[in-house]
Amino acid sequence: MNQLRIATGVMALGAVVWIVGALAPWSSIGDRTYPGLSGSEAAWALAGLVALVVVASGLVGRAVASAARWLLLPVAALLVLLTVVIIIDVATSTSADVAQGIDGPPLTRENAWGVWISLVGAVVATIGGIGAALAPSPRGDAAPRPS
């Protein structure tokens, strides 16, 4: 296996972990949980793009994988940024934000386990993207020739 295929495989793993985390609860208010799916549609569009590009780069020829690696790293870094922004947004929400539509004592909004899984997936995808960017470009004459 060459370095580029390993790096795109790591990115694929990170993207899948991010998507699994996005299906899990990202925040909770009292006993109610809210998955990443109920959040921003931009997050899902970005996750779909990452999954599509990673799968395409892993299933087609070397030239596409080599070209796609330059798109994958910024997308993976955006996933890290998006997840961190959501973590900070949930952590800094006030009780007035949470109290809208809820009767009774003030409740707090907390980050749930799914957002942490997504953060790990985004970091893994970014590490794979760095590996893909640093991997040598595949050459067309790299295949062994019969003697």
Beta pairing class for 32-35 and 109-111: unpaired
* pLDDT at res. 120: 94
Q: Is the pLDDT reported for residue 5 higher than 80?
A: no
Contact in structure between 22 and 36 (CB atoms under 8 Å): yes
Q: What is the pLDDT of residues 48-104, one digit of tens each?
A: 666 666 665 566 566 666 666 777 788 888 888 888 988 888 888 766 556 555 566
pLDDT average, residue stretch 124-146:
72
pLDDT average, residue stretch 2-13:
79
Dihedral sign of CA atoms 120, 123, 127, 133 in order? positive
Angle between helices 41-59 and 62-91 (to 10 degrees): 160
User: pTM of the prediction?
Assistant: 0.74
Dihedral sign of CA atoms 10, 16, 17, 22 in order? positive
Q: Residue 35 gets which letter from DSSP?
A: E
Dihedral sign of CA atoms 126, 130, 132, 133 in order? positive
Dihedral through CA 91, CA 84, CA 21, CA 41, nearest 10? Answer: 100
